[in-house]
């Protein structure tokens, strides 16, 4: 299989790489950093990119892994000493990794979490169904990673497994590896020669080899039954018992108990063991002793955080390396000079050798290879060699008088200096070229980083734009909420929806009745009721003519007799509902706001028309035969809708109870029905009394209605909510 491992260098990921290599899998590694100094075990392909790199999805696409393993809680790329910064980086990285995996939409994703997502005391073993209760920022970040996995798994139907390892530990190599409870206790013992423990802290430890084996089974399995698994040795141990192990190794160890309550945190591995078996083989006592022995033996490394000192001769070799490197060309020069001198001395009398100036070739060679410095040194040696040969064959005073000797020596130095100078210039040009290349490479890297940053900013601005109040997506989400209300309530809440989207608290909805009148159905404020409960909309001049043309009316003259903006809902060419809007600032009365009101009206049109039809049916078909009197069921439904709207200040209503004595309720209601306003509703409830629903009428205004009913020969009173 193709396996993608994601995480920083460390014990755990190296052991996992070794295991996968032994099983014959092809391993791809995403290191999470662009620096290559961190050592890893051998993998098929290594990608040194950060988690926020734009090319992450391309890596998934090119490698096409069958299984992706993110180290998560054991990713060494995050420095948790600064938890807030690390948690932000971790969440962003997790999101980008999961998004890239989801875009590729292939294979299984394994996320390694830990016991840190549970921060409370658990008397019983913790099952996979227990809700996380993180007590630290790191634990919270890990639990958020689990939630991200759950969201992607359920929303995209992906094969994502969350694996919680119970108190993972290993034998550390350096101070940075000291993360487990046993290692921390050993380090404290080295630093302070004493250990502070909470004796009642109980947990189970999972050794590295067991963790690798269990995770490998989840990687290699064909199918699995559950989305979350706990991996735990279930061998419960306490800090007191670990302290006793250390005490057995060193009798001088001082153990102090902290006066704080302990807690128990042991994960239940029931689901994993039932499906894959129990692979745990490591003995805790032996591993703790192994950790303590190694840390005692390498105390300098763990106390200082530095690497262990190499042997003396190795340090001498390392420190003298620059001198040896500088000395090597001189040694080569001397050795080659000796060879040339011997060849020239013993073979110089040969016919063909006499025509060849071996010293000149020797100087030229070192000028070409090493430059001016070595060419001058070679010229000096060649001159010495020539003089020695001359003196051995002829008297020495002739050497001083021989003009050819001076010319030959000058020739050596001229050739050496000129060729050496050219060599040095080539080296300088090459270094300058490399520096320019490095500079341009760094600039290119910076440009990529800037581009990545710009992409993030662009995406953030896109999201900000999508989430604006006037975005179509936001408008549709709000208007679609009308579908959750019953038909008799839609017209009330439609006013509130229009107010939210238009950015105003003053919206009124008028329902057009027969004739030239429109009656107020709902309003969100006192200002929105300024035109009254009934209006002659056909006499509203410019407003009416504009609405008849299916356009939005804008009150550019700021006439107090008109709303600032208005629109209408049509059905089969007939005007059915009017939307009036006040409270909009002058600078927002633009074409953009007009278009927005048009969009809002279109989106709520279906719900509004459905509600309007329902109310018409309520009046015509749910009335008693031959009258306007509503049945008890219809009357109660309508009263409840008005009362709920009144609670949210979307409408005013008052219910009158008619005191008709012994008279027949049907006869009373029929007499009243002919004399009430069209905006009022009449009905008989289960108690046998006749009730009148006064729409858009508060209690103060209800006095006029009571007097009017009395003029018809009937007494009435305001009905309280508990009566209806």
Average pLDDT over all residues of the chain = 81
Q: Which two tokens stand for residue 409?
A: 């020596």
**Nearest CA among 5, 25, 129 for reference residue 72:** 5
3 state DSSP class of 332? helix
Q: Which two tokens stand for residue 98?
A: 């999961």
**Nearest CA among 545, 586, 81 for reference residue 566:** 545
Model confidence pTM above 0.85? no
pLDDT tens-digit profile of 138-167?
999 999 999 999 999 998 889 999 999 998
pLDDT tens-digit profile of 349-387?
666 666 677 888 888 888 888 888 888 888 888 888 878
Share of the chain above pLDDT 90, in %: 15
Q: pLDDT at position 45, please?
A: 84
**pLDDT confidence bin for 93, thresholds 50/70/90:** very high
- Flag whether pLDDT at 720 surpasses 80: no
Q: pLDDT at position 436, please?
A: 86
- Flag whether pLDDT at 550 surpasses 90: no
CA dist 504 and 30 (Å) reads 52
Q: Name the residue with higher pLDDT: 214 or 700.
A: 214
Q: Which two tokens stand for residue 406?
A: 């001076």
Share of the chain above pLDDT 70, in %: 84
pLDDT tens-digit profile of 610-638?
776 666 665 555 676 656 677 777 788 77
Q: Which domains does the chain have, with CATH numbers?
A: 2-171+204-235+265-281 (3.40.50.720), 321-437 (no CATH), 486-588+599-620 (3.30.450.40), 629-723 (3.30.70.270)
Q: For 88-92, 149-153, 495-499, which range has the lowest pLDDT when averaged over its residues?
A: 495-499
Q: For 245-259, 328-342, 406-420, 462-476, which range has the lowest pLDDT when averaged over its residues?
A: 462-476
3 state DSSP class of 47? strand
Burial class (CB in 10 A: 0-12, 13-18, 19+), 647: exposed
Contact 502, 579 (CB under 8 A): no
- Flag whether pLDDT at 471 surpasses 70: no
Q: pLDDT at position 116, please?
A: 92
pLDDT tens-digit profile of 290-306?
888 888 887 777 777 66
**pLDDT confidence bin for 314, thresholds 50/70/90:** low
Q: For 221-235, 443-457, 489-503, which range has the lowest pLDDT when averaged over its residues?
A: 443-457
- Flag whether pLDDT at 79 surpasses 70: yes
Half-sphere exposure of 206 (CA within 13 A, CB side): 25
pLDDT tens-digit profile of 223-241?
898 999 999 988 888 888 8
**pLDDT confidence bin for 90, thresholds 50/70/90:** very high
pLDDT tens-digit profile of 101-135?
998 888 999 999 999 999 888 989 999 999 999 98
Contact 378, 362 (CB under 8 A): yes
Q: Which two tokens stand for residue 215?
A: 């995770």
CA dist 691 and 665 (Å) reads 10
Q: Which residues contact 425 (CB under 8 A, 6 or more apart)?
A: none
Q: pLDDT at position 352, please?
A: 65
Separation in Å, CA 382 to CA 19, 336, 338, 387, 402: 62, 11, 10, 9, 17
Contact 641, 489 (CB under 8 A): yes
- Flag whether pLDDT at 308 surpasses 60: no
Q: Name the residue with higher pLDDT: 469 or 607.
A: 607
Q: Name the residue with higher pLDDT: 549 or 318.
A: 549
Q: pLDDT at position 178, please?
A: 85
- Flag whether pLDDT at 182 surpasses 90: no
Q: pLDDT at position 673, please?
A: 67
Q: pLDDT at position 626, please?
A: 59
Dihedral angle of Cα 370, 371, 372, 374, to the nearest 10 degrees: 10
Q: For 47-51, 180-184, 222-226, 680-684, which range has the lowest pLDDT when averaged over its residues?
A: 680-684
**Nearest CA among 139, 56, 142, 61 for reference residue 96:** 56
């Amino acid at each position: 299989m193709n396996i993608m491992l994601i995480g920083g260098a460390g014990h755990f990921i190296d052991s996992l790489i070794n295991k996968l290599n032994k099983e014959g899998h092809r391993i791809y590694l995403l290191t999470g950093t662009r620096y290559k100094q961190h050592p890893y075990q051998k993998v098929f392909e290594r990608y040194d990119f950060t988690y926020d790199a734009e090319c992450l999805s391309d890596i998934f696409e090119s490698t096409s892994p069958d299984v992706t393993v993110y180290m998560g809680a054991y990713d060494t790329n995050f420095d948790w000493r600064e938890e807030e910064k690390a948690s932000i980086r971790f969440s962003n990285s997790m999101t980008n990794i999961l998004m890239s995996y989801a875009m590729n939409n292939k294979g299984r994703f394994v996320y390694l979490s830990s016991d840190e997502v549970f921060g409370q005391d658990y008397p019983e073993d913790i099952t996979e169904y227990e809700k996380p209760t993180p007590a630290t920022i790191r634990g919270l970040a890990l639990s958020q990673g689990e939630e991200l996995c759950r969201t992607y798994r359920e929303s995209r139907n992906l094969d994502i497994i969350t694996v919680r390892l119970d108190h993972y530990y290993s034998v550390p190599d350096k101070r940075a590896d000291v993360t487990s409870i046993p290692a921390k206790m050993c380090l404290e013992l080295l630093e302070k020669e004493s250990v502070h423990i909470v004796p009642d802290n109980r947990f189970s430890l999972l050794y590295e080899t067991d963790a690798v084996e269990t995770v490998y089974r989840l990687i290699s399995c064909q199918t699995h039954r559950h989305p979350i698994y706990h991996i735990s040795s279930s061998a419960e141990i306490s800090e007191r018992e670990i302290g006793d192990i250390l005490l057995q190794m060193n009798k001088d160890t001082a153990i102090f108990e902290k006066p704080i309550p302990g807690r128990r945190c042991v994960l239940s591995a029931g689901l994993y063991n039932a499906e894959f078996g129990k692979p745990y083989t490591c003995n805790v006592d032996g591993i703790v002793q192994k950790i303590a022995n190694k840390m005692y033996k390498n105390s300098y490394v763990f106390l200082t955080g530095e690497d262990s000192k190499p042997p003396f001769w190795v340090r001498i070799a390392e420190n003298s390396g620059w001198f040896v490197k500088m000395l090597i060309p001189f040694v080569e020069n001397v050795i080659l000079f000796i060879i040339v001198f011997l060849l020239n001395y013993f073979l110089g009398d040969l016919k063909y050798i006499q025509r060849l100036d071996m010293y000149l070739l020797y100087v030229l060679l070192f000028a070409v290879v090493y430059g001016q410095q070595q060419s001058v040194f070679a010229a000096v040696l060649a001159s010495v060699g020539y003089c020695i040969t001359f003196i051995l064959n002829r008297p020495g005073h002739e050497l001083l008088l021989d003009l050819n000797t001076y010319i030959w020596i000058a020739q050596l130095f001229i050739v050496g200096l000129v060729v050496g100078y050219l060599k040095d210039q080539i080296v300088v040009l090459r270094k300058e070229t490399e520096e320019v290349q490095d500079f341009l490479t760094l600039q290119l890297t910076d440009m990529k980083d800037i581009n990545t940053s710009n992409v993030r900013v662009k995406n953030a601005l896109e999201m900000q734009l999508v989430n604006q109040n006037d975005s179509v997506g936001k408008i549709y989400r709000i208007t679609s909420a009308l579908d959750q209300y019953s038909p008799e309530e839609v017209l009330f809440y439609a006013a509130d929806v229009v107010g939210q989207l238009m950015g105003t608290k003053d919206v009124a909805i008028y329902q057009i009745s027969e004739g030239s009148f429109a009656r107020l159905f709902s309003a969100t404020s006192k200002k929105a009721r300024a035109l009254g409960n009934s209006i002659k909309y056909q006499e509203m001049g410019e407003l009416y003519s504009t609405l008849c043309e299916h356009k939005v009316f804008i009150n550019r003259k700021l006439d107090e007799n008109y709303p600032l903006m208005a629109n209408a809902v049509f059905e089969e060419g007939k005007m059915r509902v009017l939307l009036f809007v006040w409270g909009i600032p002058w600078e927002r009365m633009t074409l953009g706001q007009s278009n927005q009101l048009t969009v809002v009206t279109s989106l709520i049109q279906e719900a509004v028309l459905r509600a309007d039809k329902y109310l018409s049916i309520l009046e015509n078909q749910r009335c008693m035969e031959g009258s306007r009197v509503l049945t008890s069921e219809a009357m109660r439904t309508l009263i409840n809708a008005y009362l709920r709207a009144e609670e949210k200040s979307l409408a005013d209503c008052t219910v009158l109870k008619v005191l008709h004595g012994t008279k027949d309720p049907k006869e009373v209601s029929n007499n009243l029905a002919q004399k009430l306003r069209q905006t009022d509703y009449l009905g008989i409830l289960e108690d046998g009394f006749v009730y009148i629903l006064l729409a858009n009428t508060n209690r103060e205004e209800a006095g006029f209605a009571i007097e009017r009913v009395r003029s018809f020969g009937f007494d009435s009173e305001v009905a309280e909510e508990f009566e209806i």
